[in-house]
């Protein structure tokens, strides 16, 4: 399975990872329906239904046809067959998997780091943990740092050095004693 196949599968599964979208797929599976009809059946507003249908259409799960001012949606059964073949093909066993989560962590870093700069401090704790680990590894294990030196290292990656410094100390990735910081061994880091 190629990276492109994996990306397509993830897009399909993400599109289906919502209760309203799953219901929409079920409703358009038996026959073509329009936005107004689907909004009534799901007790949702038409713009909300249109939004969900656009996501399903972008993922290739539903097809649309226009008749005058009415958009009709139906399940794209050919797309489902392709997904089924991809998911249950022998190639799926060749999807890169690393038991320690390195693939997932690389994806998080790819989403939040651009040219060695942190684009945003992640809100979810699991993602923040990955970014903090990446930052902590910027400090040598056997070195001592003043607060100004810690800030200088962190500012190379994000302007909010104070928040990142507090987080690193809070997760026991950095230890502070008498104004001097040092990186702690990874075995002593506090899990999220």
Q: What is the largest CA-CA distance in the chain?
A: 74
Q: Token pair for residue 41?
A: 């059946």
Higher-pLDDT residue of 106 and 145 is 145
- pTM here is 0.49
pLDDT band at 4 (very low <50, low <70, confident <90, very high): low
- Residue 131 near residue 138 (C-beta atoms within 8 A): no
Q: Which positions ≥6 away from 22 have C-beta within 8 Å?
A: 16
Mean pLDDT of the chain: 86
User: Residues 6 or more apart from 118 whose CB is under 8 A from it?
Assistant: 112, 131, 135, 157, 158
Q: What is the pLDDT of residues 120-172, one digit of tens each?
A: 999 999 999 999 999 999 999 889 999 999 999 999 999 999 999 999 999 99
Domains of the chain and CATH, by start: 3-93 (1.10.10.10), 102-188 (1.10.10)
Give the residue from 109, 111, 102 showing the smallest Cα distance to 138. Answer: 109
**Contacts within 8 Å (CB) and 24+ apart, 110-115:** 113/157
Environment class of 66 (CB within 10 Å of its CB; exposed 0-12, middle 13-18, buried 19+) = exposed
Transcribe 39-88 into DSSP letters.
HHHHT--HHHHHHHHHHHHHTTSEEEEEETTEEEEEE-HHHHHHHHHHHT
Residue 49 CA to residue 57 CA, distance in Å, equals 12
Whether 99 shows a pLDDT value over 80: the answer reads no
């Amino acid at each position: 399975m190629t990276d492109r196949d994996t990306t397509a599968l993830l897009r399909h599964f993400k599109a289906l990872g919502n209760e309203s979208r799953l219901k929409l797929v079920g409703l358009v599976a038996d026959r073509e329906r329009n936005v107004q009809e689907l909004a009534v059946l799901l007790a949702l507003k038409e713009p909300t239904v249109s939004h969900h249908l656009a996501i399903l259409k972008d993922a290739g799960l539903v097809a649309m046809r226009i008749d005058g001012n009415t958009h009709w949606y139906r399940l794209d059964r050919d797309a489902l067959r392709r997904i089924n073949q991809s998911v249950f093909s022998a190639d799926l066993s060749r999807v890169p998997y690393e038991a320690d989560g390195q693939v997932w962590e690389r994806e998080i870093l790819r989403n939040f780091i651009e040219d060695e700069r942190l684009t945003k401090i992640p809100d979810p704790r699991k993602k923040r943990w990955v970014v903090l680990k990446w930052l902590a590894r910027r400090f040598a294990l056997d070195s001592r740092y003043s607060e100004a030196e810690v800030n200088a290292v962190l500012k190379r990656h994000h302007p909010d050095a104070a928040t990142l410094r507090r987080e690193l100390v809070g997760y026991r990735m950095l230890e502070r004693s008498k104004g001097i910081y040092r990186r702690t061994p990874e075995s002593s880091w506090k899990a999220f």
